Structure formats: structure tokens, C-alpha cells
Amino acid sequence: MFDGVNHTIRVSKLSYQSIELAINSTPSTLSLNVNEEGEVDLNDDGTNDIAVKYEGVEGTRGVLTIREVMLAVKPIPKPEAPPAEIEAPAPAPAAEKAKGYAWAYFIIAVIVLALAGGIGFVFYEIERSHKMLEQEKKQGFVEEESLDELQGYAQRTYDQGYTKEQIKQALLKEGWSQNTVNRVISHIKE
């Protein structure tokens, strides 16, 4: 009984290797070898309804397994191309890529120029301060800013373990005037 209708299956031929079945209601024939399965459309609707498997011969009988074929939900086919609204962006043309690289080169050039300018400025300031110190040494007059730097140097040197006399001799040897050296030494904190 399938779908409210009686159906019959008769064995037309049987051997140890194969079986032939006659299926009635919508007449059809099914030939199977051992361990082979075939499907049958019982109600002639274009969809197979049962599956029959020939298991072989046991004694004098052919052994069949019959099961109902379950309708599988057919998957919805995927579209050939993605819809327009989620279309993948086209690769950038070579000109656009080159434009992107041009910006990178520009930024790198600006950074290099800034570094070179900064380094140049530092060397300029060092040279200017050396000239200013040389002039102060010759004149015997020290500007407050230079005096503060010299006192900071003397204090750090003293804190490192040098004596006031050693610092005094080193400053005199560098060309600083006796008055400037005495002022610096007098401001060292013990």
C-alpha cells in the first residue's frame, strides 16, 4: 500500500547474481544485481517513491529490502553572479595604484626633509653656541644662560665624584676666565 493504492511486486526471474521484478499498478520492470538498489515511481508522478535493494539468495528465496524514498528538499541554486548591490569592487587600474604610491612617496619625502632640516638646525645651534661661548671666554663676560649651563655642568661633574679643585682646573684649562670659574665653583651645592 502506497499513497492509498495497493501495488504488487512479483519476481519474474531470480538467480544468485540477479533478480527481475514486475511492479504493477503502473506497470514497470526493475532488474537488479546482488547488493544493487533501484528506485521506482509507483504513482507515475515523475518522482521515485520506493527504493528496492536485492540482498541476494538465502536458501530458495530472494531477499529484498524495500523502503520509501523520502523527498529531499532541493537546494535553491546559487546565482551565477552576485547581485549588483553587493558586487565586488573592480580591481583598481594601474593609474590609480600609481596615484596611491605617489602619495606615499610624497609623505616619505616630507618626512626625510623634516628630519634633514631638524638635524641641520641642531648642528647650527651647536655651532652657534660654541661660537658664543668662545666669544664669552675671550671677553671674560658670560651671559646668564651660558652661566646656568656651565653651573649645571659643574654640579653634575661634582655629583659624579670630582672635587671642586679638579672642576676649577678643567674649566681654566678650557679657557674660562678666573672670575667666571670662581662664580661657577661657588654655586656648587655639596
Alpha helices in 54-176 (DSSP H): 94-139, 144-159, 164-173
| Rounded CA separation 122/125 (Å) | 5
Greatest mean pLDDT among 42-51, 87-96, 148-157: 148-157
| Rounded CA separation 109/1 (Å) | 87
More confident site: 177 or 158 = 158
CB–CB of 64/50 below 8 Å?
A: no
More confident site: 185 or 132 = 185
The pLDDT of 64-90, averaged and rounded, is 63
Domains in the chain: boundaries:
8-68, 140-190
CB–CB of 19/13 below 8 Å?
A: yes
Residue pLDDT, tens place only, 106-138? 888 899 998 888 888 888 877 876 777 676 666
Tell me phi and psi for residue 187, to 5 degrees: -95, 0
> Can you give the pLDDT at residue 160?
92
Whether residue 65 is predicted with pLDDT greater than 90 in this model: the reply is: no
| Rounded CA separation 12/21 (Å) | 5
Whether residue 83 is predicted with pLDDT greater than 60 in this model: the reply is: no
> Can you give the pLDDT at residue 111?
92
Q: pTM of the entire structure?
A: 0.37
Name residue, grid cell 536458501.
Answer: 59
How many C-beta neighbours within 10 Å does residue 102 have? 10
The crossing angle, in degrees rounded to 10, of helices 144-159 and 94-139 is 90
